Amino acid sequence: MDPVYVGALSLLPPVIAVALALITKEVFSSLLLGILSGTLIYTLKTDGNVVIDTLQTTVKVMGNKFDLNIVLFCSLLGALVYVIYLAGASKAYGNWATTKIKGRRSALLSTSALGAFIFIDDYFNCLTVGTVMRPITDKYRISRAKLAYIIDATAAPICIIAPISSWAAAVGSNLKATKAFESDIGAFVAAIPWNFYALMSILMVVLVCIFNVDFGPMLKAEQSALKNPPKPTSNQDTSSDMEIKGDGTMWDMIVPMLALIIFAILFMLYVGGYWGDDEAYHTLGGAFGNTDSSLALVLASTCALFVSFLMLVPRKVLSLKEFMDGVLRGVQAMIPANMILTFAWTISGVTRDLLQAPEFISSIVQNDIGFVGAILPAVIFVIAGFLSFSTGTAWGTFGILIPIVVMVSQAIDPASSELIIISLSATLAGAVFGDHCSPISDTTVLSSAGSGCVHIEHVYTQLPYALLVASCALIGYIVAGFTHSLFASLSTAIGLMVVCVLILHARQLKNNTKIKFDNETVAE
């Protein structure tokens, strides 16, 4: 299929996808209609059959852009997550943790640490942390709302800065489709320090846990929990429709996860040529820059799943049938994510490759590129946050915005890679922000379910925290756009957030509303 130049019409597919996503709050149909609009434009331009050729072009582009390795990795990861949970390993870790945690602060910090440790997948994070830590936080009268906030703030924000995760694979696949980077994993890693929202969300959780900073609706929830301890709910042992079948140990969770990380690193080095014949790749930097991360992640997740099999089936923690049923249900759970990825790849191919959107964008970005480039990261952060919040999906936002952001950044400053990386980071940060606080986001829903918190209570109690972090991150991106300095922009954003937290902390002390850790009472 030869590309055609259609001018401004090349941007119509993503515009339609964004508009429909905002109106319908449904990503799948929005992406599909965006794709069909693009292939229809291509068909009309090439004088093809409106019906047959439009559908045929759609299927061809989808086939050309389909990345089997990424789909396999997401599916295998879903299988691993489901099997570990099914075996009761998460519950066993929670039972062990209850014997080690002695106090409110340590309970909160342990919850945060577990959320940070489970960086492989946000769904697994929400399900595991909620199930494991809820009995512990209930024991120390920590509100379900605060537990839900910590779970949510250490789910997507952790996964988006972990090079070995389902989120990294999703972002990498969209980056690969843009053909703007020699190494998709290299670009992802380069964007991590600029992902202000994710980094600052994690820092905010640490500050909240250490200094016990509560404000807005969260303060009232904490006061209520101290006076009226949370009561066990019917889903005390499980936060989803997954039924625990085995009596596994915490090592049945820890060992497969460590195996996944270790195998992923080793296979990335192997695929990148670290032990190959070309000496140019006999260094860590050379091998990681040359690797095929999606292939390495497939190999690693396969090995990790095999490790889990060896740990669970021979010991009869799970029967062979239960293990394989768990694998199948885990793969099925990843179907929506795989569909979003496939549609995202396709709309990127239609916009970039068939309709030549980069050429059109380059033709209209001619003057005042300095000012446009300076405000671009901040504008992108706001747009990504709004789209992700409205649609409830960060992955769909990645698929829609990453190709456009890369094209615009290249057109504004083709000689510099800094603007592309900063703008890419702003896209990822904004998408995570919207996903974090959207009431229709999967992670928001799972965080509520995992913590046993009323969903709407979780939404409005965590919103002030998310907005505070996002506001400071936005200022950081404004500084980054003008300076291209990581130190200046990140230190400005973090410094501003810390000052705000200290002011809120001082107000609590002044108003005598700070919840005390020592005697677990509320100062009246």
In terms of pLDDT, which residue wins out, 421 or 1?
Answer: 421
The closest alpha carbon to 336, from 159, 154, 85, 74, belongs to 74
Q: Quick check: is 516 in a domain?
A: no
Q: Is residue 336 part of a domain?
A: yes
Tokens of 121: 């997948």
Lowest mean pLDDT among 234-238, 363-367, 466-470: 234-238
168-212: pLDDT as tens digits: 877 887 787 677 677 777 888 889 999 999 999 999 999 999 888
Taking residues 475-499, what's their average pLDDT? Answer: 94
pLDDT by residue (tens digit) across 227-248? 887 765 433 344 444 577 778 8
**Sorting pLDDT into bands at 50, 70 and 90, what band is 510?**
confident
- Determine, yes or no, domain membership for 517: no
Question: Residue 451 corresponds to which tokens in the numbers above?
Answer: 């913590």
- Name the residue among 183, 197, 193, 181 with its Cα closest to residue 420: 181
What value does the mean pLDDT take over residues 414-428? Answer: 86
pLDDT of residue 361: 64
Higher-confidence residue: 235 or 469? 469
Could you tell me if 388 and 430 are in contact, meaning their C-beta atoms sit under 8 angstroms apart?
A: yes
pLDDT tens profile 91-116: 787 777 777 787 888 889 988 988 88
In a domain, 522, yes or no: no
Q: What percent of the chain has pLDDT over 90?
A: 27
Please check whether residue 68 lies inside any domain of the structure: yes
Provide mean pLDDT across the span 455-467.
90
Q: Show the domain range for 442.
A: 7-511
**7 has a pLDDT exceeding 70:** yes
pLDDT band for position 418 (50/70/90)? confident
Question: What per-residue confidence (pLDDT) applies to 158?
Answer: 92
Average pLDDT, the chain: 83
DSSP character string of 395-418? HHHHHHHHHHHHHHHHHH-TT-SH
Q: Tens digit of pLDDT for each residue in 307-358?
A: 999 999 999 999 999 999 999 998 988 888 788 778 877 887 888 788 887 6
Task: Give the chain's domain count.
Answer: 1
Top-confidence residue, 441 or 302: 302
**Mean pLDDT across 476-490:** 93
Q: Distance between CA 493 and CA 25 in Å, rounded?
A: 31
323 vs 66: which has the higher pLDDT: 323
Give the residue-averaged pLDDT of 78-85: 85
Is 105 part of a structural domain of the chain? yes
Closest CA to 285 of 299, 274, 271, 296: 274
Residue 523 lies in a domain: no
> Cα–Cα–Cα angle for 79, 126, 201, nearest 5°?
130
What is the predicted pLDDT for the residue at 66? Answer: 83
- Per-residue pLDDT, averaged over 378-398, amounts to 83
pLDDT at 239: 42
Per-residue pLDDT band for 415 (boundaries 50, 70, 90) equals: low
Is residue 262 in some structural domain? yes
Structure tokens given for 67: 């990345």
- Mean per-residue pLDDT, 155-172: 84
Phi-psi region of 88 (alpha: psi -120 to 50; beta: other; left: phi over 0): left
For residue 35, CA distances in Å to 17, 225, 349, 360 come to: 8, 49, 9, 18
Residues 71, 65: Cα–Cα separation, whole Å: 12
Model confidence band, residue 11 (pLDDT cutoffs 50, 70, 90): confident
pLDDT band at 516 (very low <50, low <70, confident <90, very high): low
